Structure 1
């Protein structure tokens, strides 16, 4: 059994398939993601791109094949190990932010550090630093309902990156924003990820978002091909 090199591939899928009952959603996908690389997967709604993303993140168990992360097969980890991996080594950005409404912007950004056991004061100080880098210092004490959509999504980016994960999984990270806000959020997201060497796997229907990636793939009927491949 092959073990993938930690120096080159942080995440890899080999012949991954996912079935919902008798319905195939992902069909024999192989993909490698290098450290610090931005990988975009585009495709129409229902093509299987979000299903693939959640297989790579260990949220959905694969029906066939294997997903590797830093030398470990995700399917061989138990629930506790998978939860720890998603909490400590992965980050997530969703289309609508999914911030906790009862927490402040700063507390939302600090949440991964608090879940990892870091002291509140230290976690909030680190969150404040990341929020400043994302232009959010003036809203750090507000609740999510008191900030704009673009600001909310930048908070989600801060939360995803604050614990310096190996990989961030982003599901339509700018899909709920207008074009101006989308460009700003994407620029800040990718700059911060690159600065700390975090790989990004994002799915999007927007070709302008995909164009910012280092590697681009197209998902069609559950099958993945490099962009431009026939």
Structure 2
């Protein structure tokens, strides 16, 4: 199967410091991939390059056959908004919005009518066991619930790829396992590919494939 996301010879330097070195990577549609590594290994830098948030110093990242560097700023923003989803370690929800408004945000940014976006958000929140919290502010829910809202926001617009940076790193083990199961189950049911960066072997074990990053070097792909 052709890769939906591919990196070829990617290097990233911050001044004189090299964060990534000659990285090759490929992600198939619907695949769940884990990139493991310790803090400072370069795995988050790779995630941001793959998502088009940071441009590599050398090499190329392509999505759906199109090199990201060939896209203008508006085109790249549209790809990230409509075809990518993001889950961060601490959720990064907007406190001024309700749970359902946070979950609906990608659809609203894509121009969907408010009622339509909120209906779609309600459906996915229900699947994540959050139906009764739709009208609450994010300050009124727990950490595990906040991360489920972040998952809903990442998946509500049925993106092609979700980028997850330590998606359960801020949760206790019980909540982490439950959130991860719900996140990956929902992504797989939608056919959404997922890239997770993590230092946790138990998280990586839920993926279809796994890479290991050390000092900016990505080791070869292994099937899980």
Q: Do both proteins adopt the same fold according to a TM-score greater than 0.5, normalized to the shorter chain?
A: yes
What residue in structure 1 maps to residue 195 of structure 2?
201
What residue in structure 2 maps to residue 4 of structure 1?
none
1:213 correspondence with 2:198: no
- Choose from 62, 75, 78 the match for 1:68: 62
1:53 correspondence with 2:47: yes
What residue in structure 1 maps to residue 102 of structure 2?
108
SS of the residue 2:196 aligns to? strand
SS of the residue 1:175 aligns to? coil
1:36 Cα shift? 0.4
Deviations 1:158-214 (A, max 9, x none): 000000000000000000000000000000000000001000001001100001010
Per the normalisation by structure 1, the TM-score is 0.95
What residue in structure 1 maps to residue 93 of structure 2?
99
Note the residue ranges of structure 1 that are not aligned, 5 or more in a row: 1-6
- Choose from 99, 123, 134 the match for 2:128: 134
Paired residues for 1:40-189 under 5 Å: 40-189=34-183
1:226 Cα shift? 3.0
Deviations 1:69-106 (A, max 9, x none): 00110011111111111000000000000000000000
Over aligned residue pairs, what C-alpha RMSD do you find? 1.1
SS of the residue 1:41 aligns to? strand
- Choose from 181, 184, 191 the match for 2:185: 191
Separation of aligned partners in 2, 1:193 and 1:37: 10
1:227 Cα shift? 6.3
Per the normalisation by structure 2, the TM-score is 0.98
Runs of 4+ in 1 over 6 A off after TM superposition: none
- Choose from 7, 15, 21 the match for 1:21: 15
Separation of aligned partners in 2, 1:165 and 1:88: 7
